[in-house]
Structure formats: C-alpha cells, structure tokens
Structure 1
C-alpha cells in the first residue's frame, strides 16, 4: 500500500485490531454453540460469506448505485478534480475516482476496498453549500478513510453481525423457535434465537464504537493534512445545520448509508442519550472539541 502523508493514528490501529480480535473470538464461540446444539449452519455461513465478498469487492459500485452517484470527468467537474488532485499530491495518495450524486442532502462519502479501487463522491447539495476551503476539509476527511483502509475493516467487521442476523431470521422463519418434536428436550430453537440476538447486539455495539472512533480519526487526519481545522469545523456546523432543512423523506432514503457519510443524515438533535451509543458518528460537539484542540496545537484560531 502506498505510504501516505496522512497522520498515523495508533489509537485507530489498536481499536481496529482489538475489535477484530473480539469479533473473531465471538464468532468462534457463536459457531461452537451452534455446533454443540446440532445446528447445520453451513448454508447460513456460505450465504453470509458470499454477501461479504460481494460487499468487499463491489462496495464502490454498490454505494454509487444506491446513492444515484455517477463518475464525472475532469471536463465535467474541473474544480472538484483540481481540489482532489491537490489533496492527492499533498497526501501522496493515488487519485480516487470522482463522482457526484444529484441530491440536495449535503454530504460526501468515500468507499472502495483499497486506494486503487477508491471513489470519492460528493452531493450537489454539498457543493452548493460549502466554500472551497470547507469542501477541501470534507474531502480530506473522506480520503483519509481510504488511506486507513476503514472501508475494508468495517466490511469484515460487519460479517459476524450479518451471520447472527441471518441465523436469527433462519430460526424465526423455519420454526426452530417452536421446537417441534422436541417436547422433552431443551428448547433448542429458543436458545439459538437468544444466542443469535445476543451475538448480533454485541457485534453491533463493537462495530458502532469502532465507526465513531474512525470518524474522529478521519477528522484529525484531514485537519492535520490541510492544516485548516477551522475549515473542517465550519463544514461540520454548516452541514449539520442544513440537515434540519432537508425533507424527512430524503433523509430517510439516505439514512441506510450513514456509516459511509461525512455526517449522518438525521434531523433534529443527534448524539443525545442512547443515540450516542448506537450512532455511526460521534456527537457533533465531540468532533468540534477535537478540531478546536487541533487548532490550538497548530497555533491557529478555532
């Protein structure tokens, strides 16, 4: 992988390794329980593995298709290409494919399993609302996700949750939970359902915690690369404020892709109560506080 000039983040690396280890351990225990219960889970594992491979190798195409994004040439979007060219030169990273999604929801995302297969997509709503320095901060943030291989790690981390979710549906739809013909034995179906739900909940919380930290890491890396944390903070405030003006229907359509976005597509107050635990992104104030600290370290105004 190309050595980039994005600031390394040992905290992110430690969290990635720890999360993958815990999920792997949980996976081994989960499969062990299924085998002990006499469950033939091969079909579920093969199906989950197939979905994982599709998501891993085609995440860029899937995301663009889902968000109605299209790749744009240098002639179609010269300013956007120019900005990304400058960031690539500054960060010593290969140039990703450039795309624009025609939606008023102000956001951006980067996806792709590695730097050679990456795409950065911005919405027309974002382009209309941000000035060049703010846009630079947002794209630097997104490109850091690719440099740190966040997409690949999060795709693999989601595997256990996918398996547990499929097992839960399998138990429900096949009637295992009713334990037919097993009146005198332990409630195997109910145990499978309970274990699957617990495994799904634990894997969900672990991956969400990792997702929130990787957003903080991307903010930090983008701000240090551009040396303009105040521009990124301004973009965060502006985009978060504009979300409240977007029609609810549009936000609901975008919400399934929150994990990819620069900021989550939500309206109202986010980050309060349990939302901070279940969210894909840290609360806005947490991100702004970190950028303010970086600005102070760089000797600049917040």
Structure 2
C-alpha cells in the first residue's frame, strides 16, 4: 500500500488479503493442473496470459482514458477541478495525478494508472453538471484513495488467474476438437488431456470471476471509507452516490451499454434495471455504501444530516 494519510481499514484489508491469497492459490493450482494436462502448452499459455495482464496494467491509464474518449485538461481549462484535486492531494500527502474530463452525460468518475506517479483521475461532464462542490469533493477523495492504494495493480494481479484460465479454456476447446495437433495414434490421449484442461480451466475461471468481483466490492467500500475520513464529510459522498445512481437509471440503455466495459473503474456501475447485490457485481449495493458512510459519520461524531435524496428502490 502506498504511503499516504488515507485512513487504514484493518477489517477490509484483511478480507482483501484473504481473497488475494485465494486467487493466488487458484493461479498456482491452475498452472500445476495445466502442466500435467497440457505439458507442451502450459508454459506458453501462462506467459501469454501474464503478458496480457502486464500490458493491461502498464497501459491502464491510456487504455481507460481512450475507452471513455476523455481528454486531459490543464489548470487553466478546469481551474476549480484542479484546485479541488490539489487540496485533496495535499491533505492525503500524495502526488497529484493527471486530470481528465470525459464529455458524456453519463454521471461518473474513475481513477486509473499503474502507480500513484503514473495515475489519472477522470470525471464526466455529466457528473460535473449534477453534483455540488462538496459532493464532487467526496467523489474525488474516493478516486484518489484508489490511486493511493494502488488498486489498479491489485485488481490486475487478481485477474491474472482468470485471464490465464480463459486462454486455457479456448486452447483446450480447440485442442479437444482437433486432437491437439498430434498424430492419429495419440489422438485419444491428446484429446483427453485437452478435455481435462478444459474442465479445470472452466472451474478456475468461474471461481476467479466471483472472487475478483468480491475483491472489487471490498475495494469500493474501502475507498468510500477512506475518502469520507479524508474529507470528514461522509454525508456529502452519500449524497453524491445517491444522485449518481439515480441519474444513471435515467440514462438511455444504449449509452449505458457503450460504457459498461469501464464498470470496474467507475465509482458507480453503468447499469440500469439490474440488482447490484448479486455475486457478479463489481460494486456493493447503494444501501451497503450508505450504511457504511452512516457508520463513518457516527465515528466522526457527525450524524448523517439526511439532506441527500432518497435512494428509492435498488437498481
């Protein structure tokens, strides 16, 4: 974890560490299984899979900004936004990331980058138009917490088992159908090895998928808590989350689909008409987040003022 003044959350950190340990064990198990089932292909699959994960991590800031068609803005172009991030970075004792704006009505924000010194924070014009200064500050503190805690690195490592398992699944499907490219007298044994690899990879991919989503939800709760303690205004973040979630529901489905590849980065996923409390969700439910922020308010001796909009039915 990067050194900063963001508060540490021992409970959430312990849970995230446990999930990372399980994912690491899963990855080791997958590699060992592939070595037995596909001795001629396991090393190549592992190297290519890890290479893809490394590329995604190393270029995460560039890829994410391009995906949202965001543009980096200077202090002269967005003085209030830069000023707010300057203050929060000084409070958190962390390097200032690059600042970008995505020109879309979808109200959202995200942070990305392989390290605090190579990071970017992006907000949409939709969120700038809808939030008050205090609410936006809460959102930015949440995103800066992701940067300080190197969450892009954490999630990239966590996804490695799933990436390799997905590649192995495709390779095993191809090999089982075509006999693995072996001679006819060995086709039976070769196909059996590929079938074993297919089953193992599918199981590993499924487990990795749900564990990664669980880690992502813990990561969001941790960022909510850290950001709220930094600003000392948990009710402002609660209000922002409530507004963002409600406004996302009003965005046309076509526009939401075009942004869903960024859901793991967003402060609130671009989802409408689906529950956020399922095992496959990248984010905790709005109710969970509001409840945690209410606890932060109690710890700070500042009970929630109840001035933010009602969350209504969960999406």
Same topology, TM > 0.5: yes
Question: In the alignment, what sits opposite 1:204?
Answer: 209
2:308 match: none
Counterpart for residue 31 of structure 1: 31
Structure 2 counterparts to residues 214-229 of structure 1, below 5 A: 214-229=219-234
Q: Confirm or deny that 1:12 pairs with 2:8.
A: no
The count of corresponding residues between Structure 1 and Structure 2 is: 299
Distance 1:65 1:252, change over 3 A: same
Pair 1:242-2:219 in alignment: no
> CA offsets per residue over residues 139-163 of structure 1, 9 Å max, x none?
0000001111111111111111000
Equivalent pair of 1:177/1:188 in contact (CA under 8 Å): no
**Partner Cα distance (1:160, 1:185) in 2:** 24
> Is the partner of 1:36 in helix, strand or coil?
helix
Which residue in the other structure is 1:230 paired with?
A: 235
Normalising by the residue count of structure 2, what TM-score does the alignment of the two structures yield? 0.90
Instruction: Report if the CA contact (8 A) 1:177-1:190 is conserved.
Output: no
CA contact (8 A) 1:9 1:217 kept: yes
TM-score by length of 1: 0.94
Residue 256 (structure 2) pairs with residue 254 (structure 1):
no
Question: In structure 1, what is the Cα distance between the partners aligned to 2:113 and 2:120?
Answer: 6
Give the Å deviation of 1:253.
1.0
Work out whether residues 176 and 195 of structure 2, in 8 Å CA contact, stay in contact via their aligned partners in 1. Answer: no
- Verify the 8 A CA contact 1:30 1:199 in the aligned structure 2: yes
> After superposition, where does 1:108-257 map in structure 2 within 5 Å?
108-176=109-177, 182-183=187-188, 187-257=192-262
Q: Which runs of 5+ in 1 are unaligned?
A: none
Name the CA distance, whole Å, in 1 between partners of 2:303 and 2:73.
Answer: 36
* Structure 2: gaps of 5 or more residues: 305-315
Structure 1 match to 2:49: 48
Name the residue aligned to 2:108: 107
User: 1:30/1:79 Cα in 2 relative to 1: closer, same or farther (>3 Å)?
Assistant: same
1:76 Cα deviation after fit? 0.5
Secondary structure of 1:277 counterpart: coil
Identify the range of structure 1 (236-245 vs 17-26) with the bigger mean alpha-carbon deviation.
17-26
Q: Determine the C-alpha separation between the residues in 2 that align with 1:165 and 1:112.
A: 24
Q: Give CA-to-partner distance per residue, 1:8-60, whole Å, 9 cap, x none.
A: 12233323332232222212221111121244223222221221121121100
CA deviation string 1:68-89 (max 9, x = no partner): 0111000000010011011011
Kept in 1, the 8 Å contact 2:179–2:191? The answer is no
